[in-house]
A = this chain, B = another copy of it.
Amino acid sequence: MTSDSPATSPLTPLRHRIDNIDAALIYMLAERFRCTKEVGEIKATSQMPACDPSREEKQRARLHKLALEAGLDPEFAQKFFAFIVQEVIQNHKNIAARHQSHATDNTDI
């Protein structure tokens, strides 16, 4: 069995809830990346490094606490955070490289 009839399956109400949560997660993540894009632009303009270990450590500790409060496996929360941070740092590096390349272009002019 790979899928059962949606009308009769006991999974259907749960799947509706999961789908609603997924939509919320996608919209939240879009907002998060909008914020981190702005952070990346500021960092690139100010020539700050893409990653900030001190800030990340504070975030990690906070998310651990929040995960415990929410009833989410704190180990999973850490894996999730590492997954997001990896993407954000790559985005910051891309933004910095673009700024660098624009600066070089301007020098050439």
Which residues of A are at the interface with B, using a C-beta cutoff of 8 A?
1-4, 10-11, 14-15, 17-19, 21-36, 38-39, 42-43, 46, 48-49, 52-55, 59, 62-63, 66-67, 70-73, 76-77, 79-81, 83, 87
Contacts and interface: CB of A to CB of B under 8 A. Distances in A.
B87 A30 contact: no
When all copies of this chain in the complex are counted, the total is: 2
A104 to B, nearest CB: 23
A10 B15 CA distance: 41
Among A1, A26, A55, A80, the one with the most B-chain Cβ atoms within 10 Å of its Cβ is A26
Contacts of A42: 10-11, 14
A87 B29 CA distance: 19
Contacts of A59: 19, 22
A14 B30 contact: no
A63 B26 contact: yes
Contacts of A35: 14, 17-18, 21
